[in-house]
A = this chain, B = another copy of it.
Amino acid sequence: MEAGSSRHGSPDAAESQQLRGTNQSGMRDHNERLVLSLVRQSGALAKSDIARMTGLSAQTVSVIMRELEVEGLLLRQEPIRGKIGQPSIPMALNPEGAFFIGLKIGRRSAELVLIDFLGKTRAMLQNSYGYPTPRDTIDFVRSGIAQMRASLTREQDQRIAGLGVAMPFELWSWVDTAGAPREVMDEWRNRDIRADLQTLFSFPVYVQNDATSACGAELVFGDIGALRDFVYFYIGAFAGGGVVLNGRLYSGPTGNAGALGSMPVPGPGGRPTQLIDVASIAVLEKALNAKGIEASYLWTSPEEWRDLGPELDGWIATASDALAYAIVASASVIDFESAVIDGWMPPAIRTRLVQAVQAAIGKIDVEGLRIPSVREGTVGIHARALGGASLPLSERFLIGSTAPSRGV
Contact = CB atoms under 8 A, between A and B. Distances in A.
Interface stretch (A100-108, A327-335, A378-386): A327-335
Residue of A231, A243, A271, A334 contacting most chain B CB atoms (<10 Å): A334
A253 B337 contact: yes
Interface string A3-29: 000000000001101111111111111
This protein's copies in its complex: 2
Given A22-B31, A37-B19, A333-B329, A262 B368 contact: yes
Interface residues of A, number: 86
A195 interface: no
Interface in A251-287: 252-264, 266, 270-276
A210 interface: no
Contacts of A30: 21-22, 404
Nearest to A328: B264
Given A27-B27, A260-B333, A334-B252, A276 B368 contact: yes
A405 B400 CA distance: 12
A290 to B, nearest CB: 23
Contacts of A254: 335, 370
A334 B332 CA distance: 12
Contacts of A367: 262, 274
Contacts of A404: 22, 26-27, 29-30, 399, 403-404
Contacts of A368: 169-170, 173, 259, 261-262, 274, 276
A332 B26 contact: no
A364 interface: yes
Name A's interface SS.
Answer: loop
A401 interface: yes
Contacts of A273: 365
Given A37-B19, A274-B367, A329-B329, A335 B252 contact: yes
Interface string A122-136: 000000000000000
A406 interface: yes
A333 B335 contact: no
Contacts of A332: 259-264, 275
Contacts of A19: 34, 37-38, 53-54, 247, 399, 401
A146 to B, nearest CB: 30
Contact of A248 (B257, B259, B274, B402): B402
Contact of A406 (B23, B252, B262, B270): B23
A272 B369 contact: no
A299 interface: no
Contacts of A407: 23-26, 28-29
Contacts of A328: 264
Nearest to A14: B405
Contact of A333 (B34, B258, B402): B258
A27 B23 contact: yes
